[in-house]
Amino acid sequence: MQSDTKINILLVDDQPENLLALEAVLGDLGENLVRANSGQEALRHLLSRDFAVILMDVQMPGMDGFETATLIRSRARSRHAPIIFLTAFSASDQLMFKGYALGAVDYLFKPIESSILISKVTVFVDLFKKSESVQRQAAQLVAMNGELRQSEERFRSLSACSPVGVFVIDSAGHCTYANPRFQAICGLTEAQSLAAGWFPSVYAADQDRAIAQWMAYVQSSGDYSEEVRFESVDYTLRWMHVRSSPMLSAQGDLLGYVGTIEDITERKQAEETHAEMVREQIARQEAEAMSRMKDEFLAVLSHELRTPLNSMLGWARLLQSKKMDETSVARALATIERNAEAQSRLIEDILDMSKIIRGKLQLNCCAVNLIQVVEIALDSVRLQADAKAIQITATIDRSIGKVWSDPVRLQQVILNLLTNAIKFTPDKGTVEVRLEWENDEEVVRLQVVDTGIGIHADFLPRVFDRFRQADSSTTRSFGGLGLGLAIVRHLVELTGGTIRAESPGEGKGSTFTIVLPLWQGSDPLLNHSVSEDLEGANVS
């Protein structure tokens, strides 16, 4: 109840002018003045509300002041309502005693001195207010006690029935609370839990880590959330999710840490099972992809090897069975030879790849005159290029010296790039060879640039993978096993060089770039033998 709520004061007199006079005097108090013209009316008012004080005329027709007071006192609600009797004549002592016996607290004689009336009424108003306040406080106290009991009960049942372990650790590190689930998880009694906390239940091998993580948490301002293995009394391991947050007072002071422990063993097992299933599925898919790739490779291999075989076999049988004119015989033999050569190249590639895979490929390195090797390679592909009316141009920096490499393999690499360029360039295109310094005088760069079918950006990163051509129809269109560039890259890398492929896109040509370190040594014997090998070749 608010203090600005008005207090009720009951005025009882049969004379309206007396009531008016009382109202005039007491009006300044600002309280609620309730008028009653008779004892009955006063009792009616008392039925519905409480009064701080009752000012009552003794002499009233019908029920007089004393009778009214007797009835007021007989009701529990109004038993303690203070009554001040007002009387016009100087009452006898006997009459006054009667009044006091009926519970009157005072007597005032008419004419009433207004200041006395005000001060007396004020006393009772204050008293009423105080007692009301005390009652209010008492009621609040009762309500608070009830809430506290409820809250305690709620906490007790929450904690007791909680599916997770709950603990509290004070700022000094002592466990001050552990709920029943905590005790069950840790396999401890309440007293043991409070003495030891949860660390002793952690699996021995994980204890140091768990303690270190907890110490780090205590020193930080964040939350703690770790998955920890607990070892139960029967030595089985179970996964627990331990979480904790600092417990702060309203002022922000650290009171300790509240935490939960949740058994997540089943979730962990489900996750592990799921992960295992995913791993198995990936392994299965990889195996299937590998098997598919192998099947495709075998089909291509079979086709590539048997196609030339079919021609050779066919012509050989025809030569045996049928009389042929000289021109036809020559044609048959030329066809057999070309097909045998094609098959031989395929077999060489397969053997090279096989050696590379087994790590058995060996190089016979020496200082090699790069310009000569390039020119010999250019010469040997010229017929092939002419057949497709492809123009080959060469830009060669004559100041470039020797590289340390295997001359036969280097020749193979350059020939492979040139034949690839011719193979993938349409008729009347161009193939350009550039041999120049990379950027200093220790590294040289050999580029083969064509105006051919180009390489799709998606395929560029895989262009040097073995068994790869952009798609199986490319394999069919252009023949071959898709081993050439894989072998080339391997050979280049074996001699300390690098190779890269660039293409602005499909149909826009390709550029293959080999970067080789220049030979820095000086071994006249080796140089000589290489030069001799190359001198015999027909260099254009």
Question: What sign results for the dihedral spanned by CA atoms 139, 141, 142, 146?
Answer: positive
**Is 105:127 a contact under the CB 8 Å cutoff?**
no
Q: For the chain, percent helix, then strand, then coil, each to nearest 5?
A: 50, 20, 25
Stretch of residues binding another protein (CB under 8 A), selected from 66-74, 160-168, 178-186, 313-321:
313-321
Interface with another protein (CB under 8 A), residue from 144, 270, 313, 351: 313
- CA-to-CA distance for 282 and 285, rounded, in angstroms? 5
Residue 344 touches another protein, criterion: CB under 8 A: no
Residue 266 gets the label, from left (phi > 0), alpha (psi -120 to 50) or beta, of: alpha
Q: In what order do the strands lie in the sheet with 32-36?
A: 32-36, 8-12, 53-57, 83-87, 104-109
- Shortest separation between residue 444's beta carbon and another protein, angstroms: 37
Of 142 and 313, nearer to another protein (C-beta) is 313
Residue 39 touches another protein, criterion: CB under 8 A: no
Of 311 and 451, nearer to another protein (C-beta) is 311
Paired strand residues for 369:
402
- Shortest separation between residue 293's beta carbon and another protein, angstroms: 16
Residue 306 touches another protein, criterion: CB under 8 A: yes
Paired strand residues for 510:
none
- CA-to-CA distance for 200 and 350, rounded, in angstroms? 64
Residue 446: both structure tokens together: 């050999």
Neighbours of 72 (CB within 10 A): 25
Of 216 and 318, nearer to another protein (C-beta) is 318
**Is 36:10 a contact under the CB 8 Å cutoff?**
yes
- CA-to-CA distance for 501 and 517, rounded, in angstroms? 18
Interface with another protein (CB under 8 A), residue from 308, 452, 484, 509: 308
Looking at residues 92 to 151 of the shown chain, list those that interact with another protein (rule: CB under 8 A).
none
Residue 314 touches another protein, criterion: CB under 8 A: yes
State which H helix or E strand residue 383 sits in.
Answer: helix 370-387
DSSP 8-state class, residue 71: H
Stretch of residues binding another protein (CB under 8 A), selected from 8-16, 40-48, 174-182, 476-484:
476-484
Interface with another protein (CB under 8 A), residue from 291, 310, 344, 362: 310
Residue 274 touches another protein, criterion: CB under 8 A: no
- CA-to-CA distance for 63 and 241, rounded, in angstroms? 81
- CA-to-CA distance for 402 and 436, rounded, in angstroms? 13
Residue 190: both structure tokens together: 């309440």
Interface with another protein (CB under 8 A), residue from 8, 201, 311, 416: 311
314 three-state secondary structure: helix
Stretch of residues binding another protein (CB under 8 A), selected from 21-29, 195-203, 458-466, 475-483:
475-483
DSSP string, 134-159: HHHHHHHHHHHHHHHHHHHHHHHHHH
Stretch of residues binding another protein (CB under 8 A), selected from 130-138, 296-304, 344-352, 502-510:
296-304
Of 208 and 337, nearer to another protein (C-beta) is 337
Of 264 and 301, nearer to another protein (C-beta) is 301
Residue 339 touches another protein, criterion: CB under 8 A: yes
Of 85 and 315, nearer to another protein (C-beta) is 315
- Shortest separation between residue 511's beta carbon and another protein, angstroms: 25
DSSP 8-state class, residue 6: P
- Shortest separation between residue 329's beta carbon and another protein, angstroms: 13
**Is 297:304 a contact under the CB 8 Å cutoff?**
no
- CA-to-CA distance for 188 and 179, rounded, in angstroms? 11
Q: Are strands 53-57 and 8-12 parallel, antiparallel or unpaired?
A: parallel
Binding mask 435-474 for another protein (x = CB under 8 A): --------------------------------------xx
Site size for another protein (CB under 8 A): 26
Residue 294 touches another protein, criterion: CB under 8 A: no
Q: Which residues contact 106 (CB under 8 A, 6 or more apart)?
A: 82, 84, 85, 120
Looking at residues 213 to 272 of the shown chain, list those that interact with another protein (rule: CB under 8 A).
none
- Shortest separation between residue 523's beta carbon and another protein, angstroms: 47
Residue 408 touches another protein, criterion: CB under 8 A: no
Looking at residues 316 to 335 of the shown chain, list those that interact with another protein (rule: CB under 8 A).
317-318, 321-322, 335
- CA-to-CA distance for 210 and 214, rounded, in angstroms? 6
Distance set, CA 68 to CA 14, 20, 46, 128, 396 (Å)? 13, 21, 11, 21, 136
Measured CA angle at 170 (ends 251, 160), to 5 deg: 105
- Shortest separation between residue 333's beta carbon and another protein, angstroms: 13
Looking at residues 491 to 530 of the shown chain, list those that interact with another protein (rule: CB under 8 A).
none
Closest CA to 218 of 200, 201, 232, 197: 197
- Shortest separation between residue 319's beta carbon and another protein, angstroms: 10
- Shortest separation between residue 322's beta carbon and another protein, angstroms: 6
Stretch of residues binding another protein (CB under 8 A), selected from 197-205, 257-265, 299-307, 507-515:
299-307
Residue 292 touches another protein, criterion: CB under 8 A: no
Of 179 and 343, nearer to another protein (C-beta) is 343
Of 473 and 540, nearer to another protein (C-beta) is 473
Interface with another protein (CB under 8 A), residue from 110, 476, 508, 528: 476
Stretch of residues binding another protein (CB under 8 A), selected from 194-202, 293-301, 451-459, 516-524:
293-301
DSSP 8-state class, residue 59: -
- Which residues of this protein are in contact with another protein, per CB under 8 A? 298-300, 302-303, 305-311, 313-315, 317-318, 321-322, 335, 339, 473-474, 476-478
